[in-house]
Amino acid sequence: MTKSAKDYIIFPLDVTSVSDLKYYVKLLSNYVGMFKIGLELFIRSGPDTVKIIKDMSEAGIFLDLKLHDIPETVRRASESIASLGVDLTTAHCAETSEMLKAAVSGCKEKTGVLGVTLLTSVSSIDIQNAGFENQYCADISKLVLKRAKTAKEAGCKGVVCSGLEVGLIKKTFGKDFVAVTPGIRPAWNLSEKDDQKRITKPADAIKNGSDYLVIGRPIRDAKNPLDAAIMTAQEIEIALEQINK
C-alpha cells in the first residue's frame, strides 16, 4: 500500500484523560497515520489506552516511553511493551549499546525500537553545560550521528531526531533506517514559542527524508485541530510531489 501524506503524521496524545484521548482519536483517525501514547497519558491511564485506540481506529500506535535504565530492566519492560501489540516504541541512545540491544531483544521483532538520539528541546548550549566535548557543542549533528550509529548497530529500527539531522542520518545509514522527527512547526504556527529548539517545517523535514513527523501542539492547540491536521497533510503532499518531480 502506498503511503499517503497523512500517513507521515504521528499525533501525540498528550492529554490528561481518557475522554480527551477518545475525542482526538475519533476526530483525527482518518487524518493521521499513527497515534503516539507518551508518558503523560500512560502514567495516568496505563495500557488500557492501547486497547481503546485499537478499538476505535486503524491507525498505528507508537508507545513512546523513552526507556533509560539497566539493560535487564529495559529488556523486561520492552517485553511488556511488545505484548501490548504496538508498532513502535523508544529507548534513549545516550546510555549504552547494551541497553539498546536489551530493548530490541525484549521487543522480539513484534515492536520496532527507535533510539532517541538527542531531544529536539536540547540546544548546543545545553550540550556544553552538560560537559560534552567541544566538537559536539560546535556541531550537534555529530552527537546525533554518533548516537544513531549506536542505535543502528544495536538493531534498532530507526531513530528519533530533528528534521535538521535527518538528511545526514539517511545518507549515512540508508533509507530503510527509519527517521521519526519531532519539533515540527508549520509556517502557520511559527510565532508560538515553546520548549522545542531544533525545529523544522513539515515540508523541510519531508524533503530532508523524514519517514514520520510528530506534530503535537500545532494540531492539539489549534482553534480547529482537524483543519490543522488537514493543512499539515497538504503541506506534506506538496513536498512529496516536489521530491517525486
Among residues 1, 2, 57, which one has the least CA distance to residue 28? Answer: 57
Of the candidate residues 106, 112, 158, 182, the single one contacting ligand C5P (CB under 6 A)? 182
217 binds ligand C5P (CB under 6 A): yes
Is residue 64 annotated as part of the catalytic site, yes or no?
yes
Strand partners, 60: 34
92 known member of a binding site:
no
Question: In 10 A of CB 18, how many CB atoms?
Answer: 15
Residue whose CB is less far from ligand C5P, 14 or 69: 14
Instruction: State the nearest-atom distance from the C-beta of 48 to ligand C5P, in Å.
Output: 19
Window 40-79: residues binding ligand C5P (CB under 6 A): 64
Residue whose CB is less far from ligand C5P, 224 or 242: 224
CA–CA dist 117, 148 (Å, integer): 6
CA–CA dist 137, 28 (Å, integer): 39
Tell the burial category of 199 from Cβ atoms under 10 Å away from its Cβ (0-12, 13-18, 19+). Answer: buried
Q: CA-CA distances (angstroms) from residue 209 to 121, 202, 239?
A: 21, 11, 11
14 binds ligand C5P (CB under 6 A): yes
Instruction: State the nearest-atom distance from the C-beta of 122 to ligand C5P, in Å.
Output: 8
Stretch that binds ligand C5P, among 117-125, 131-139, 165-173, 223-231 (CB under 6 A): 117-125
Is residue 69 annotated as part of the catalytic site, yes or no?
yes
Stretch that binds ligand C5P, among 17-25, 43-51, 118-126, 165-173 (CB under 6 A): 118-126
64 known member of a binding site:
yes
Angle at the Cα of 66 from the Cα atoms of 62 and 223, rounded to 5 degrees? 55
87 binds ligand C5P (CB under 6 A): no
**Catalytic residue selected from 22, 54, 66, 146:** 66
User: Which set of grid coordinates corresponds to residue 119?
Assistant: 531531544
14 known member of a binding site:
yes
**Catalytic residue selected from 22, 54, 69, 146:** 69
R_g of the chain, CA atoms, integer Å: 17
Among residues 155, 202, 203, which one has the least CA distance to residue 178? Answer: 155
194 known member of a binding site:
no
Instruction: State the nearest-atom distance from the C-beta of 5 to ligand C5P, in Å.
Output: 18
Helix (H) or strand (E) holding 67: strand 60-67
Task: Collapse the DSSP code of 112 into the 3-class scheme (helix H, G, I; strand E, B; otherwise coil) and give the result.
Answer: strand
Enumerate binding residues for ligand C5P (CB under 6 A): 12, 14, 36, 38, 64, 119-121, 160, 182-184, 196, 214-217
- Supply the residues annotated as catalytic: 64, 66, 69
